[in-house]
Amino acid sequence: MVSLALFGQEKPRWLDDNYKEQQYPSHIYFTGFAYGEIPRDKSLQDVTQQMKTEAQADLSKKIRLQISSRSQSNIEAVTTNGRYNENESFLNQSLTVSNAEVVGMKTESYHDPKTNLVYAFAYVKKYELTSYFKSNLAMNIVQVEGLMHTAQDLEAGKEKAKARQQCEEAKLLFPKLRYAQDMLTAIDVNASSEDLQQAKIEALYNQLTQMQAQLTQNVYVYVESDEDLFGQKVDIVANKVKAALAVKGCSFVDNSGQADFLLRIRVTTRKSDSNNDLVFCYADTAIELYDNHKQKVVYSDEIAQKGGSNSQDKAGRKAMDEVVVKIAEKLKKWIE
């Protein structure tokens, strides 16, 4: 943004309304204007900056009003075609973004020592905004396409957690695309669907929605286990937990970086007591479920499961078998 200080100069011609209408016509420019008196407790510099800010806000407000009125009708038309599921959200975010500084805006100010008033005038050419937002639209479309292409490659390599992250990043760009479209529509009521790249953005959004739905259908789990059956290393609990979770739609990978969840299982066995020909043992089990997508442990627990049989080994195995049911039930709400 360029600011021009006109202290000590003659009155600028933009103070005249007729001159402004002729030199800064509304079909070519967005303009904003503000003025105020300098109070005793404030400096000329502070009030000048305040008036500039108010003039810029006045200009931005005019743009926002056009976005609001035109976007609503555009959203209704788009909704009919099923383009977005979050149309109101896009509009609200567009209006929020438009509070930011308008690219290419120039601001001039003038202090009249006779009246002790400070004036500020902000203006920007519509064609400059049009050029900027067309480039901005194209740039963000390229970014979305790149993120989705990367997500497809990651999914093919079974790295679903990373693929989901790429999709989330792509989704965050759609409000920016919507804002650029709204700005172009506000600047030029005759902007064509080609100018707004509506077909391409619609196709990208539908593709993203389908990809995100596909990525949630199957869950990839990496299982790390350490099971001790009275000094013997086994995989009883891990194998049976995998079988139970497979029924729930889980798939298992050998690379932790490809997983949605990391499941850690630690089991030790100990003898409890005996009764006649029966021996009872405990499977002391610790489980921890780490969400790769959220980058944190989402569930952990310790379970002491008792089992009985005619030998210590069989009783330990029985306890391990029965602890699987509890583990699968506890993990179900986190992994499904």
Paired strand residues for 262: 222, 290
Q: Are residues 188 and 167 in the same domain?
A: yes
Q: Which pLDDT value is given to residue 53? A: 92
Q: Are residues 111 and 157 in the same domain?
A: no
Q: At which of 96, 126, 156 does a domain end? A: 126
Q: Are residues 224 and 115 in the same domain?
A: no
Q: Residue 327 in contact with residue 303, Cβ under 8 Å?
A: yes
Q: Are residues 316 and 247 in the same domain?
A: yes
Rounded distance between C-alpha atoms, residue 230 and residue 294, angstroms: 36
Q: Are residues 144 and 83 in the same domain?
A: no
Domain span at 202? 129-215
Nearest alpha-carbon partner for 167 in 217, 227, 121, 209:
209
pLDDT digits (tens, 9 = 90+) for 269-289: 999 888 878 999 999 999 999
Rounded distance between C-alpha atoms, residue 242 and residue 223, angstroms: 8
Q: What is the DSSP letter of 220?
A: E
Rounded to two decimals, the pTM is 0.56
Low-confidence ranges of the chain (pLDDT < 50): 1-7, 75, 77-100
Q: Are residues 157 and 231 in the same domain?
A: no
**Which CATH number goes with the domain that contains 59?**
3.10.129
Handedness of CA 132, 135, 141, 143 (dihedral sign): negative
**Which CATH number goes with the domain that contains 322?**
3.30.160.150
Q: Are residues 106 and 22 in the same domain?
A: yes
Q: Are residues 255 and 314 in the same domain?
A: yes
Q: At which of 215, 238, 259 does a domain end? A: 215
Q: Are residues 98 and 10 in the same domain?
A: yes
Q: Please, what is the Cα angle at 50 between 46 and 55, to 5 degrees?
A: 150
Q: Which pLDDT value is given to residue 185? A: 82
In the chain, the number of structural domains is 3
Q: Which pLDDT value is given to residue 280? A: 94
**Helix then strand then coil, % of the chain, to nearest 5:** 55, 25, 20
Q: Are residues 133 and 117 in the same domain?
A: no
Cβ atoms within 10 Å, residue 172? 11
The pairing of beta strand 232-234 with beta strand 219-229: antiparallel
Q: Are residues 46 and 119 in the same domain?
A: yes
Cα-to-chain-centroid distance, residue 200: 20
Rounded distance between C-alpha atoms, residue 206 and residue 84, angstroms: 8
Which pair of tokens denotes residue 220?
């990839």
Q: Please, what is the Cα angle at 307 between 303 and 310, to 5 degrees?
A: 160
Q: Are residues 22 and 108 in the same domain?
A: yes
Q: Residue 72 in contact with residue 87, Cβ under 8 Å?
A: no
pLDDT digits (tens, 9 = 90+) for 98-157: 444 577 889 999 999 999 999 999 999 988 888 888 999 999 999 999 999 999 998 887
Q: Which pLDDT value is given to residue 97? A: 44
Q: At which of 215, 246, 263 does a domain end? A: 215
